[in-house]
Structure 1
């Protein structure tokens, strides 16, 4: 089975567990997630979200950018982190 096939067949519950492990830094049983595990999980979650057409605003790492309307440089948008 290829990586793409594995991600395609990944159960949504497993996806949610991987996403939660990234967010909390620990597995559902309480063990710590290592840096290498976090990197691999993040890669799998990003690939899953792209493959399964998860809306962009629901994806891991999404940052909503809005203009603050203050007349400042458009490059100085406010950032709101959505979890």
Structure 2
């Protein structure tokens, strides 16, 4: 199959199924993939990401086909809560 035809056939829902299959080695319904199927799924995921992944995460294929890597500090910043406010309680002598 031509790469462009394959890309046209991959909907976001199909991409999610392929990603799940690559990550777990099973289809969402539970059937195990052969190594050849897993390899093919991985190639399809990478092809899809190279065209549609505008917000690449750590070690993915970004739009344009570039491999995107994020450092540990970048990932920590990305996953930290937006607000750094922490509830603070003052303990009085009567309560202690």
TM tier, smaller: 0.5 to 0.7
Correspondence 1:42-53 to 2 at 5 A: 42-53=42-53
Relative contact order higher in (CA < 8 Å, ≥ 6 apart): 1
Q: Which has the larger Rg?
A: 2
> Structure 1, unaligned stretches of length 5 or more?
68-78
Give the ranges of 4+ consecutive aligned residues of structure 1 lying more than 3 Å apart after TM superposition.
58-63
How much does 1:51 deviate? Answer: 1.1
In structure 1, C-alpha distance between the alignment counterparts of 2:36 and 2:4, rounded to whole Å: 20
Higher strand share: 1
Deviations 1:10-36 (A, max 9, x none): 110000000001111101111101111
Task: Using structure 1 for the length normalisation, give the TM-score.
Answer: 0.65
Alpha-carbon RMSD: 2.8
Counting matched residue pairs gives 69
SS of 1:55's partner is coil
Measured in 2, the distance between the counterparts of 1:24 and 1:9 equals 22
Q: CA 1:54–1:42 in structure 2 vs 1: closer, same or farther (change >3 Å)?
A: farther
- Unmatched 5+ residue regions in structure 2? 62-66, 77-96
TM-score normalised by L of structure 2:
0.57
Task: Measure, in 1, the Cα distance between the counterparts of 2:34 and 2:69.
Answer: 25
